[in-house]
Amino acid sequence: MSVPTAKIAAVGFAATLILMGTLSFAQSAPPKQTAMDGLMNQLIRAEGKLGPNAKHISGALRNAFGLAHHWESLKAGVSQAANAPSTAPTLSVRPLAPSTVTTPNLASRIVGFTQSETSTAWCGTNAVIGFNDTGSILETINGASTGNGLSSVGYAQSTNANATTPVFTDKGFVPAAHGTAPSGGLLIGDPVVACTTANDFYMSNVGFTCQSIDQSGLCAASDANIDISISHDGGATFAPPVIAVDKSFAPNILGLPNHLLDKDWMAIDPNSGEIYVTYTDIDNSADPGNECGLFGDVIPIERVAIEIVSSTNGGTIWSAPVEITHVCSSPFSGTPKLFVQGSQIAIKSDGSVYVAWETTGTSSTPSSEIDIASSTNHGMTFSGPSIVTPVNCVGDRADGILQGSIRIGELPSMVAGKGTQSGKLFLTWNDGDNPQPDAGIGTYNFADVKLVSSSDGVTWSSPVKVNNNPASNTDHFQPAVSSDQSGRVAVCFYDRRNDPNNFYIDRYCANSTNGGGSFGTNTRITTKSFLSVVNQDLQLGGNNYMGDYDTLASDAMSSTKGFRGGFGDNLTGAPNIQENKF
């Protein structure tokens, strides 16, 4: 089967330092101190205190720490560029064309050209793809001194998404400004996009705000946020974000942030329109909500929790956080370091809400499981967690590093079925089920893509292997699952089956017409394999990842069958975004 591919990216050229208009090249003073400087200092201090948690935090937070370390040089570089003759074209909007990857016009050879972590929403004729974009930092860096904020999130829109070969247009950065925040806010990433109509799109992200300024103009107090950006014109533009969750980022007695919010996820009830957003709260506060208590009546014991908030009025007003689960991890107990991360939301047709996540550190050896909890009262309370499945850690097993230095976890992707599969839940993940001896690390776990299903969220089917190529020592990883109104279930993922040496990567999609009981022929989406590209963008601080996730969308309005989704492609030498219909 021929699969049309609209290649969206090469969006990382960062040639436009200001999105709407050209940069003035008049003489300018050295970069001045801003409220954002203080926030960057706080991020650097927080990173130094993470300890074992560092390997669990999302790509977006890693980007935030990398940005903080390079903040002063980025400001200086932009200031110098403003005084130099322009040698590269300056565009107000970065165009995208179907079946063509635009060659990046790099504003910098060192930073600002990486895109990753795609999330796709599709409603009728319109679709939006959000993604982490280091180029957006350069586009918005002047906003750090004007109160307009700093964004690391880009997006693209299609107005003919139901066509066979849709055209996506890169719309630049998602605005970061908060109306009440002195620094304008930092929108750092982990975008998740959803829609309810062809006009109404919603995007969640991890963010930070500066709440007060000291006498020197630096940020004196900052908060960690989960932000919601809203579009009522089909994704053509997004308004400044609404803060859905706001918690203190100030240091505790040990210098750890009271709260570090991470890895948001969003889903919308198709019947009621209620919006749900989950996230991870790394809580080292002495707040009454920290059930883990104090060590020696002084030092807060770390609480890592999955929490949820909801909105019944289109994302303007949000509920108070509700805890779904938490683990306690004392640095003084000597017990394994538990962590919960990567929450996913699925909403069944009866309005029941299901949240799944990965729990790691469940024994003294590297091990994980995927857990789930449910709510029948619109997220006000949740059942106790139950195990969906144990999982085998992939790659080097300890740190989740795949061959080619790609960081990967076993984070789940979950969806509620549609059409003939209405009432069922489908959950997929990459599982290190193929351990092989390795001369360097003892054992390397090659990854396969697995899927399970359930009618009640309690009893789950036996795992089905989605990648149906003959057994080989190659990795298949980072899957995304979706269901459409015809009852099809589709899973798309990265795949190395075409390279017996397990370096080159392709994109594959698989289709099931029997409710996830089996998957037919896997379809190759990419026409040419590409290598992993890591540690090239210094703005990321040596980040060794292709993103933590991609998503796959069906038409939320059920007007068109099929699926579409973005993914990362390194074929041009830098990480860019493409999109395919399946």
Interval 276-299: pLDDT, tens: 999 999 999 999 888 898 888 888
Q: Which residues contact 346 (CB under 8 A, 6 or more apart)?
A: 267, 353, 354, 356, 414, 415, 416, 425
Give tens-digit pLDDT for 375-422.
999 999 999 999 999 999 999 987 789 999 999 999 999 999 999 999
Query: What is d(CA 343, CA 1) in angstroms, rounded to the nearest whole number?
Result: 34
Give tens-digit pLDDT for 66-87.
999 999 888 888 777 655 543 3
Q: Where are the domains of the chain?
A: 5-247+393-420+436-459+475-581
The DSSP symbol for 258 reads S
φ, ψ of residue 389 to 5 degrees: the values are: -165, 145
φ, ψ of residue 231 to 5 degrees: the values are: -125, 130
Q: What is the number of H-type helices and E-type strands within the chain?
A: 5, 33
Asked if residue 268 lies in contact with residue 202, where contact means CB atoms within 8 angstroms, the answer is yes
Query: What is d(CA 224, CA 247) in angstroms, rounded to the nearest whole number?
Result: 5
Task: Give the pLDDT mean for 129-143.
Answer: 90
Asked if residue 448 lies in contact with residue 430, where contact means CB atoms within 8 angstroms, the answer is yes
Give tens-digit pLDDT for 343-383.
999 999 999 999 999 999 866 555 799 999 999 999 999 99
Q: Which residues contact 126 (CB under 8 A, 6 or more apart)?
A: 157, 158, 159, 161, 195, 198, 199, 201, 234, 235
The DSSP symbol for 420 reads G
SS3 338: coil
Closest CA to 156 of 226, 90, 94, 91: 94
Using 50, 70 and 90 to split pLDDT, how confident is the model at 334?
low
Query: What is d(CA 490, CA 580) in angstroms, rounded to the nearest whole number?
Result: 13
Q: How much is the pLDDT for 76?
A: 84
Structural tokens at position 468: 């149906």
Structural tokens at position 566: 């973005």
Greater confidence (288 vs 304) lies with: 304
* 103 pLDDT above the threshold of 50: no
Asked if residue 513 lies in contact with residue 521, where contact means CB atoms within 8 angstroms, the answer is no
Q: How many CA atoms lie within 13 A of 556 on its CB side?
A: 27
Query: What is d(CA 542, CA 537) in angstroms, rounded to the nearest whole number?
Result: 7
Greater confidence (234 vs 338) lies with: 234
In this predicted structure, which of 189-198, 397-406, 533-542 has the lowest mean pLDDT?
Answer: 533-542
Query: What is d(CA 189, CA 329) in angstroms, rounded to the nearest whole number?
Result: 26
Alpha carbon dihedral 276, 282, 284, 285, in 10-degree steps, equals: -10
Asked if residue 38 lies in contact with residue 222, where contact means CB atoms within 8 angstroms, the answer is yes
Q: Which residues contact 334 (CB under 8 A, 6 or more apart)?
A: none
Q: Which residues contact 549 (CB under 8 A, 6 or more apart)?
A: 117, 119, 342, 411, 413, 478, 480
Q: How much is the pLDDT for 446?
A: 97
The DSSP symbol for 411 reads -
Query: What is d(CA 340, CA 357) in angstroms, rounded to the nearest whole number?
Result: 7
Q: What DSSP element (H or E) covers 567?
A: strand 563-569
B/e letters for 480-507, b = 16+ CB within 10 Å, e = fewer, are bbbbbbebbbbbbbbbbbebeebebbbb
Query: What is d(CA 523, CA 544) in angstroms, rounded to the nearest whole number?
Result: 27
The DSSP symbol for 559 reads S
Q: Which residues contact 274 (CB under 8 A, 6 or more apart)?
A: 268, 310, 311, 312, 378
Q: How much is the pLDDT for 97?
A: 33
* 22 pLDDT above the threshold of 50: no
Asked if residue 352 lies in contact with residue 419, where contact means CB atoms within 8 angstroms, the answer is no
- 107 C-beta neighbours (distance < 10 Å), count: 22
Q: How much is the pLDDT for 366?
A: 56
- 378 C-beta neighbours (distance < 10 Å), count: 17
Task: Give the pLDDT mean for 205-221.
Answer: 77
Q: At what angle do helices 71-82 and 35-47 cross, to 10 degrees?
A: 140
SS3 379: coil
Q: What percent of the chain has pLDDT over 90?
A: 62
* 24 pLDDT above the threshold of 50: no
Structural tokens at position 76: 């200086």
Q: How many CA atoms lie within 13 A of 214 on its CB side?
A: 11
In this predicted structure, which of 114-118, 488-492, 511-515, 571-575 has the lowest mean pLDDT?
Answer: 571-575
Rounded to 5°, the CA angle 158-162-163 comes to 90
φ, ψ of residue 513 to 5 degrees: the values are: -110, 10
Task: Give the pLDDT mean for 433-453.
Answer: 96
Using 50, 70 and 90 to split pLDDT, how confident is the model at 104?
low
Distances (CA, A) of 295 to 337, 339, 367: 16, 19, 27
Pairing between strand 259-268 and 242-248? unpaired
* 95 pLDDT above the threshold of 80: no
Closest CA to 167 of 90, 235, 100: 100
Q: How much is the pLDDT for 37?
A: 85
Using 50, 70 and 90 to split pLDDT, how confident is the model at 330?
low
Asked if residue 152 lies in contact with residue 139, where contact means CB atoms within 8 angstroms, the answer is no
The DSSP symbol for 319 reads P
